[in-house]
Amino acid sequence: KKKESSLVQVNPNFQIPTSDAKIEFICEEAEIDEQWSFVEKKCNQRWIWYAIEHSTNTILAYVFGKRKDVVFKELKALLDPFKISLYYTDDWGAYARHIDVEKHEVGKCHTQKIERKNLNLRTWIKRLARKTICFSKSEKMHDIVIGLLINKIEFGVDIHA
């Protein structure tokens, strides 16, 4: 039997419970960025796209893939339940194409926290370092290792259960 992945892509601490009591988490502002890595050789690029809540610096959701609009759309779909009113991003074209102008602010001023988080992830996981001899040999293991760190550190999920 093939074991299903138990990794979570959306922070369960912010998810809305499905009971009769309606509790809604509204994220006013979020920062979105993508971080480069590679699998096996540098020409086989692998990107992690993720969003953090601007005021708490907590990862809301993440996805892996190429640096393409379709992957950003996957992340945006995961973020829709948060009702984010303002997105802070860099000047990558996918953001301008898929985020409403009124909800989008481009620039370095409000993306400092997510850039710092990129640095932290690069420090914790050597596979994300730009110049390294540590690299993944398969996309599956690459995604699992990074996903496990995010699930444990950011989401508080017990990965040993």
pLDDT > 70: percent of the chain: 86
Could you report how far apart the first and last alpha carbons of the chain are, in Å?
19
- The residues, ordered by sequence, that sit 6+ positions from 134 with a Cβ below 8 Å of its Cβ are 126, 127
pLDDT digits (tens, 9 = 90+) for 91-113: 999 999 999 999 999 999 999 99
Model pTM? 0.84
Per-residue confidence band for 18, with pLDDT thresholds at 50, 70 and 90: low
Look at residue 134 and give its three-state secondary structure: coil
Domains and CATH numbers, the chain: 25-153 (3.30.420.10)
Judged against a pLDDT cut of 70, whether residue 119 lies above it is answered with yes
**Furthest CA-CA distance within the chain:** 52
Q: Which residues pair with 46 in a beta bridge?
A: 37
Tokens found for residue 108: 């370095």
Backbone angles phi, psi at 17, to 5 degrees: -65, 155
Is the confidence at residue 123, as pLDDT, over 80?
A: yes
